[in-house]
Amino acid sequence: MRIDVLTLFPEMFDGVFSSSILGKARDKGIVSLNTVNFREYSNNKHNTVDDYPYGGGGGMVLKPEPIFAAVEALPKHQEAEEVPTQPRVILMCPQGKPFSQKIAEELSSEEHLVFICGHYEGYDERIRQYLVTDELSIGDYVLTGGELPAMVVIDSVVRLLPGVLGNEMSAVTDSFSTGLLEYPHYTRPAKFREWEVPEMLLSGHHENVKRWRRKESILRTLERRPDLLEGRELTKEEKVWIME
Ligand code: SAM
Give the domain range for residue 202: 191-243
The yes-or-no answer on residue 226 being catalytic is no
Whose CA is closest to 114, among 95, 133, 130, 99?
133
How far, in Å, are 59, 68, 75, 116, 226 from residue 22 at the CA level? 34, 27, 22, 19, 32
Residue 3 has pLDDT above 70, yes or no: yes
Q: How far, in Å, from the CA of 60 to the mean position of ligand 1?
A: 13
What is the distance in A from the centroid of ligand 1 to the CA of 123? 10
For the chain, give percent helix, strand, coil, nearest 5. 35, 20, 45
Q: Is 140 annotated as a binding residue?
A: yes
At 99-150, the pLDDT tens digits run 999 999 999 999 999 999 999 999 999 999 999 999 999 999 999 999 999 9
Q: What is the pTM of this model?
A: 0.94
Q: Are 99 and 152 in contact (CB under 8 A)?
A: yes
For residue 162, indicate whether it is catalytic.
Answer: no
| Domain assignment of residue 175, yes or no | no
Total domains in the chain come to 2
Per-residue confidence (pLDDT) for residue 202, from 0 to 100: 97
Residue 99 in contact with ligand 1 by CB distance below 6 A: no
> Which CA distances in Å does 176 have to 57, 109, 183?
41, 18, 12
Same domain membership, residue 234 and residue 113? no
Q: Is 139 annotated as a binding residue?
A: yes
Reported as a single tens digit per residue, the pLDDT across 45-97 is: 999 999 999 999 999 999 999 999 999 999 976 566 666 778 999 999 999 99
Active site residue 94: yes
Please check whether residues 114 and 6 belong to one and the same domain. yes
- 22 and 115 inside one domain: yes
33 found inside a domain = yes
If asked whether residues 209 and 94 sit together in one domain, one would say: no
pLDDT at 168: 54
Interface confidence, given as ipTM, is: 0.99
Ligand 1 within 6 A of 134 CB?
no
Tell me what percent of the residues of the chain surpass a pLDDT of 70: 95
Q: 20 with 69, same domain?
A: yes
Q: Is 119 a pocket residue for ligand 1 (Cβ < 6 Å)?
A: yes
Does residue 156 have a pLDDT over 80?
yes
pLDDT confidence band for 172 (50 / 70 / 90): confident
End-to-end CA, the chain: 47
Domain boundary among 114, 134, 158: 158
- C-alpha distances out from residue 232 to 67, 142, 173, Å: 42, 32, 17
Nearest atom in ligand 1 to 123's CA: 14
Per-residue pLDDT, 166: 79
Mean pLDDT computed over every residue of the chain: 94
What is the domain-level CATH number for residue 91?
Answer: 3.40.1280.10
